[in-house]
A and B are shown apart, each in its own frame.
Chain A
Amino acid sequence: MIRVLTPLPVLLPLLGAAAALLVGGRHPRIQRTLSVLVLSAVLVVSVVLLMLADADGADAISVGGWPVPLGIVLVVDRLSALMLVVAATVALGVLVFAVGQGAADGDEETPISIFHPTFLVLIAGVANAFLAGDLFNLYVGFEILLTASYVLLTLGGSAPRIRAGITYIIVSLLSSILFLAAIGLVYAATGTVNMAQLALRLAELPEGTQLLLQSMLLIAFCIKAAVFPLSAWLPDSYPTAPAPVTAVFAGLLTKVGVYAIIRTQTLLFPGGALDDVLMWAALATMLIGILGAVAQTDIRRILSFTLVSHIGYMIFGISLASTAGLAGAVFYVVHHIAIQTTLFLVAGLIERQGGSTGVDRLGGLAKASPLLAVLYFVPAMNLAGIPPFSGFIGKFGLLDAGIADGGWLPLVLVGAGAVTSLLTLLAISRVWNRAFWRPRAQSPVGDTDAAAAADAGPELSAAPLEEPDGPDGAAGGSTAVRSSARRAAWQRHTAVATATTPATDGLGDGGSADRPLQPLPRVMVGSTAVMVAVTVALTALAGPLYGIADRAAEDLRDRGPYIDAVFGGEGRP
C-alpha cells in the first residue's frame, strides 16, 4: 500500500501542472478546479502515508525497479510523511486564497494561467525533496522547487519584483552549485549518492574529508534555510512578491532547507562534528533576525525577519543532537510552516483592507474589520509563543531540551530563545497597537506622505479628511462616484509613475491609504480563517503531534529504520 502511494505526492502535482498548462487561460475555471483537486488529492495521500508510516515504520520504493543502491529511491519515514502533510495543507490553503484573490481582482493583474501550473510544480519539487532517498534526487527536487519559485517571485515582471528576484535567483544558484559540487565530491569519496548507503560509507572516511563534505552540504542548505550569516537575501526578496506567493515561500522553502539540514546532521553525519558551529549560528540567527524585525515598520518585512529569527529555534534543536532536541525541532518546523504561512496571508488581507502594509499608514483596523483583527491576533500570539498555543509548546520543548543538555552554550541559547520570544511579542504587538488598535486619525501620515499625496493630485490629498468616520462619512451621490472614479484613475497613474520604487518602502503606494474600505472577498477570508483554524488545531492536537515528532526523532537518532527500509529484507551490503 505505502509503496503504491509513495510516488504520488510528486507525480500528481506534475501531471496536474501539465494538465493545468494545457487547459491554460481559455478555461480558467477548469484550471482552478483542477489544481485545487490535485492538491486535495496530494493532501489525502500524504495523510494516509503519515498514518501508514507512523504505524508500520519507514518504507522505500526503488523507482524503475532497479536494484537498491543503483536506482532512484523514494523513502517515506515519519519525518518526511509529517512534512508532506503540513506542506500539502498549507499549499492547499494558499492556493484557495490565491483563487479567491484572482477572482476578486478579475484575473487581470497576474498571468493567472501561469500561476497554477507553476504552483503545482513548486509543490512537486517540495514533495520530491522530502521523499528523496539519494542526494542527487534531493538536488533535483531543490532545482524543481527553486525554478518554480523564480517564476512565482518575478510574476508579472514589475521592476521591484525583478530587482528582488535577481538577488534571490543568484543567491539560490550559488547554493545549488555548492550543493552540486558537494555531491560530486561525495561521489568521488564514497562511490555512491544513495543516502542510506552513504550513512554507512561516510563513517569510513578520514575525519578531515568528512568535515569538508559536511561543511559544504551544510553551507548549501543553510543558504536555503536562511541561517544567519547566509540569511540576508530573505528579507530583501520575499516582501515584494504577491501575498499568496510570499506566504507559501515563507512557509515551505526555508523549511525544505531545514529538513535537508536535519537529514545531513542525523543520517549522513551523526558524529556531531559541527554542532557547536550550528549552535552559534542558531544564536546569531535568533537574535539578529528578531532585532531586524523590531526595527521594521512594514508588516511583511517584520514577518520576513521573524521568519529568519525563528529558523534559529529549529537549528538550535538540531544542534542539540538529542532526541528531545530533534523532537522539538520537528514539532517547531510543523508549527512554524503553518503559522508563518497564515500570517503572510493575513498580511495580504491587511494590505487589501488598509491599502498598505506599512504600520505607520494603518490604523483603526480592529474597528473597521473585527474579523480581520481576530485573524491576525490568534496566529500572532501563537508566533510569539503565548502559553495555550502550539508556539509555546514548541518553544517549551526546545528550551527544555536545551536545559536538559546541561552545557553552558545550550543554556545561553535557552536565554536567547526566551529573549527572542519576548522580542517577537514586542514586534507583533506593535503591529497590533498601530494597525489595529489606535484610531485611524492618529496614524502619523508623515511629511513625505503628505507631500506624496499632494504630488499625486488634488483628489488624493483630500482623502484623509473622510477617514476618521470611516466609509459612512464619505459624501454620497453622483459626485462621490465621479470623484472616486477620478481618484482610482489617479491611483493607477501614480502606480505607473512610481513603479520603480519598491512598494514596501512606503513611497510607492503614496496616497493609497485613503482607499475606501471594501468588504474583503469571502474566499480569501475563508481560506485564511481555515488556516488560522489549522494553527489552532495544531495546539489542540499537540499531544499526538508531539508523539509523532518524538518517534520521528527516535528514528532519526537510530538511523536503523531508514537504512533498513532502503535495503529492504536483503540486508545491508
Chain B
Amino acid sequence: MTPTVVLPVIVGVLYAAGVYLLLDRSLTRVLLGFLLLGNATNLLLLSSGGAAGLAPILGYAEPEEMSDSLPQALVLTAIVITFGIAAFLLAIIYRSWRLVRQEVIEVDEEDRRIARRSDTDADDIDPDDLAPEDRPAMHADTFAADNEVERGLARQYAGMASDDVDLPPTRRRKR
C-alpha cells in the first residue's frame, strides 16, 4: 500500500479553483465555486482513510487488506448535504434573478406613479377624497382648524423652498 500523490494534487487544484470562483460577484460562479470546494473536501475526507483496499466485508477480505469504510460513510453524508444545499442555493439564485428582473418592472411602477401625478390637475381633485389636512383651507368638511394645519405643514416642511404650504412639495426621493 503506497500513498498516492494524485489525490492531494487534485484536492489542491480544486480548492484553488473553488476559492477563485467563490470570490466572484456572479452568483452562478459562487455556486460553481461552492461545488468545487465541496468536492475537494469530499476527496480530502476520502483520502484521509489511507490507500484504497478491498471491500470491507468479513470473509471477503482479510482485515489488513480492507479499505477504511468510515471515511466513505462520512463522504456519503457530506455529499448528500452538499447536494441539498446546492439545490437550495440554486433556488435562491433563481429567486434573486427574478427579483433583479422585477426591479425593471418596479422602476416602471414608479414611472407610472410620477406620470399619473403629472397628469393630475389641482382642479380635478375632489376635496372629499383628500385627507382633512390636505383640503383647501375653506372646504366645508375640514376637521382640523385651518391655522393648525398651516402651522403643522410649516413645521413639517420647514426649511424647504416652497411658498405654497398647502401642497406638499414634490421631490424625488434620494436613492
Contact = CB atoms under 8 A, between A and B. Distances in A.
B170 A454 contact: yes
B12 to A, nearest CB: 12
A454 B41 contact: no
B173 A452 contact: yes
Contact of B47 (A143, A162, A188, A453): A188
Contacts of A464: 152, 156
18 contacts: A140-B77, A147-B84, A150-B88, A166-B92, A169-B88, A181-B41, A183-B45, A184-B47, A188-B49, A448-B174, A453-B168, A458-B131, A461-B134, A462-B133, A475-B143, A475-B144, A483-B130, A496-B109
A454 B169 contact: yes
A185 B133 CA distance: 71
A159 B99 contact: yes
Contact of B143 (A140, A479, A499): A479
Contacts of A184: 41, 44-45, 47-48, 71, 74
Interface stretch (A76-84, A170-178, A273-281, A525-533): A170-178
Contacts of A143: 81, 85
A465 interface: yes
B86 to A, nearest CB: 10
Nearest to B153: A465
Contacts of A510: 173
B141 interface: yes
Of residues A143, A174, A177, A507, which shows the largest number of chain B Cβ atoms within 10 Å of its Cβ?
Answer: A177
A415 B152 CA distance: 49
B34 A451 contact: no
Contact of A450 (B77, B152, B156): B156
A482 to B, nearest CB: 8
A564 interface: no
A169 B92 contact: yes
B131 A507 contact: no
B32 interface: no
Given A496-B109, A497-B110, A479 B132 contact: yes
Interface string A450-483: 1111110011011111000000000101011001
B41 A455 contact: no
Interface of A: 136, 140, 143, 147, 150-151, 154, 157, 159, 162-163, 165-166, 169-170, 173-174, 177, 180-181, 183-185, 187-188, 193, 445, 447-448, 450-455, 458-459, 461-465, 475, 477, 479-480, 483, 486-487, 493, 496-497, 499-501, 507, 510
Contacts of B157: 450
Q: Chain B binding site: helix, strand, loop or mixed by DSSP?
A: helix
Given A147-B84, A497-B110, A507-B173, A447 B131 contact: no
Interface string B88-111: 110010011001000100100110
Contacts of A150: 85, 88, 92
Nearest to A464: B156
Contacts of B22: 170, 174
Given A159-B99, A450-B157, A500-B106, A187 B133 contact: no
Nearest to B45: A184
Interface string B127-165: 011111110000001011000110011001101100000
The 5 closest A-B pairs by CB, nearest first: A188-B48, A465-B152, A462-B133, A454-B168, A184-B45
Contact of A497 (B81, B113, B130, B134): B113
Contacts of B78: 180
Given A193-B74, A480-B132, 19 more contacts: A143-B85, A147-B84, A147-B88, A163-B96, A170-B22, A174-B22, A177-B37, A180-B45, A181-B41, A184-B48, A187-B49, A187-B71, A447-B160, A458-B134, A462-B133, A465-B153, A465-B156, A483-B131, A500-B99
Interface string B13-42: 000000000100001001000100110010
B54 interface: no
Given A147-B84, A187-B71, A479-B141, A455 B171 contact: yes
B166 to A, nearest CB: 10
Contact of A462 (B88, B89, B131): B131
B70 interface: yes
Contact of B168 (A188, A461, A507): A461
Given A147-B84, A177-B41, A185 B132 contact: no
Contacts of A493: 113
B152 A459 contact: no
A159 B92 CA distance: 11
B152 A181 contact: no
A448 B133 CA distance: 21
B85 A147 contact: yes
Given A181-B44, A464-B152, A487-B131, A162 B92 contact: yes
A140 B92 CA distance: 22
B159 A447 contact: yes
A448 B152 CA distance: 18
Contacts of A165: 92
A420 B111 CA distance: 48
Nearest to B30: A170
A457 to B, nearest CB: 9
Given A184-B45, A500-B103, A451 B132 contact: no
A310 to B, nearest CB: 30
Given A183-B45, A462-B131, A166 B96 contact: yes
Contact of A483 (B70, B132, B148, B169): B132
Contacts of B70: 187, 193
Contacts of A496: 106, 109
B132 A475 contact: yes
Contacts of A455: 170-173
Nearest to A477: B143
A450 B174 CA distance: 11
A185 B174 contact: no
A173 B92 CA distance: 14
A245 to B, nearest CB: 16
A479 B109 CA distance: 28
Contacts of A188: 47-49
Nearest to A188: B48
Nearest to B71: A187
Nearest to A140: B77
Given A174-B22, A462-B133, A448 B77 contact: no
B124 to A, nearest CB: 14
A507 B49 CA distance: 55
A464 B152 CA distance: 8
A473 B167 CA distance: 22
Contacts of B149: 465
Contacts of B109: 496-497
Contacts of B37: 174, 177
